[in-house]
Amino acid sequence: MTMFKGKTAIVTGSARGIGQAIAMDLARNGADLVICDVKAEWLSETEALLRELGGKVTCKELDVTNAEACQQVFNQVAEENGRIDVLINNAGITRDGLLMRMSDEDWDAVLTVNLKGTFNCTKAVSRIMMKQRSGSIVNIASVVGIMGNAGQANYAASKGGVIAFTKSVAKELASRNIRANAIAPGFISSKMTDALSDEVRQKMLEAIPLNAFGTPQDVADAVTFLAGDKSSYITGQVLSVNGGMIMQ
Ligand code: NAI
């Protein structure tokens, strides 16, 4: 597949899970990949998988909470690859707990990685994409950012923020031919969700009309669509990938 031939895509938090699946799918569709993660030592797994596919791969250590580092890394990539066509803001964390017991630290950590990190990376790439007069940004939000969830006030607020941020950026950058969209995955099997108890998992399954958890590949398929030219008339939208868990 050559949908992304000659194009450069950056995926944050791509050492594992959904980010890894997104990087693989974009590479399968011909993109040159820049994978980055705060855990640089974990990137070797994704790197090896991408190298098997044969395309160009660049690995960068990047903590998305560090604005200066984001700009530095993205400038380096633009210099090395000549351009940045796609940014996927995927890096994210959870620190679950009921509001009454939620520490300031847990609130700040989640808002800082999920929302401020998305802001940092988007701001850094926007300078480059504006000069190019093209680009596509896809932010990974969550169903929880739309409907809320007990025990996840910090996470829900961060993902709801990502959705509102995406719409604002889409309005600001549309005239420069830069699109911004969000994906709201439902319950996706991954290391983050493997930690849940069987009882919680069974309860969640009952709430999903398609009666199955999603896979990282399900999210990656939606990302590839929104990142590429097949969605060239779509911006400022939230695409739900949730097995029908909520319908809007
Ligand atoms: P994961 O925990 O398996 O992977 C997240 C990756 O982000 C890790 O490699 C981690 O090292 C990296 N990361 C964390 N903090 C970072 C930072 N400050 N800078 C750079 N990288 C950092 O999580 P998973 O499940 O693959 O989630 C990926 C995204 O999808 C997240 O934004 C998550 O909120 C979102 N999501 C996941 C769902 C699920 O069911 N797994 C559902 C809805 C959304």
62 pLDDT above the threshold of 70: yes
The pLDDT score that the predictor gives to residue 200 is: 83
The conformational region for residue 179 under phi > 0 = left, psi -120 to 50 = alpha, else beta, is beta
User: CB–CB of 57/33 below 8 Å?
Assistant: yes
Instruction: Residue 132: name the closest of 84, 77, 74, 75 by CA.
Output: 84
CB atoms within 10 A of CB 111: 16
Contact 234, 226 (CB under 8 A): yes
* Per-residue confidence (pLDDT) for residue 52, from 0 to 100: 96
The angle at the Cα of 199, spanning 193 to 201, to the nearest 5 degrees, equals 35
Enumerate the active-site residues: 155
Ligand 1 centre from 15 Cα, in Å? 9
Which is the closest atom of ligand 1 to the Cα of 219?
30
Atom number of ligand 1 nearest to Cα 141: 44
Q: What is the per-residue pLDDT across 101-156, written as a single tens digit (0 to 9) for each?
A: 999 999 999 999 999 999 999 999 999 999 999 999 999 999 999 999 999 999 99
Query: Any residues with CB less than 8 A from the CB of 207 and at least 6 apart, and which?
Result: 245
Q: What is the pLDDT of residue 192?
A: 65
- Quick one: residue 162, left, alpha or beta (phi over 0 = left, psi -120 to 50 = alpha)? alpha
Q: What is the pLDDT of residue 204?
A: 83
17 in contact with ligand 1, CB cutoff 6 A: yes
Q: Alpha carbon of 108 to those of 104, 105, 141, 172, 176: distances in Å?
A: 6, 5, 17, 27, 33
pLDDT (0 to 100) of residue 182 = 99
Cα–Cα distance for residue pair 33/54, rounded to 1 Å: 11
Ligand 1 atom 6 nearest Cα? 13
Ligand 1, atom 27, lies closest to the CA of 18
Residue 90 CA to ligand 1 center (angstroms) comes to 6
70 lines ligand 1 (CB under 6 A): no
Per-residue model confidence as pLDDT tens digits over 158-178: 999 999 999 999 999 999 999
Residue 224 reports pLDDT greater than 90: yes
Nearest atom, ligand 1, residue 112 CA: 18
Atom 12 in ligand 1: which residue has the minimum CA distance? 13
- The CA distance from 49 to 225, in Å, is 21
Strand order through the sheet with 32-37: 57-61, 32-37, 8-12, 86-89, 135-140, 178-185, 238-241
Please tell me the distance between residue 71's alpha carbon and the centre of ligand 1 in angstroms.
21
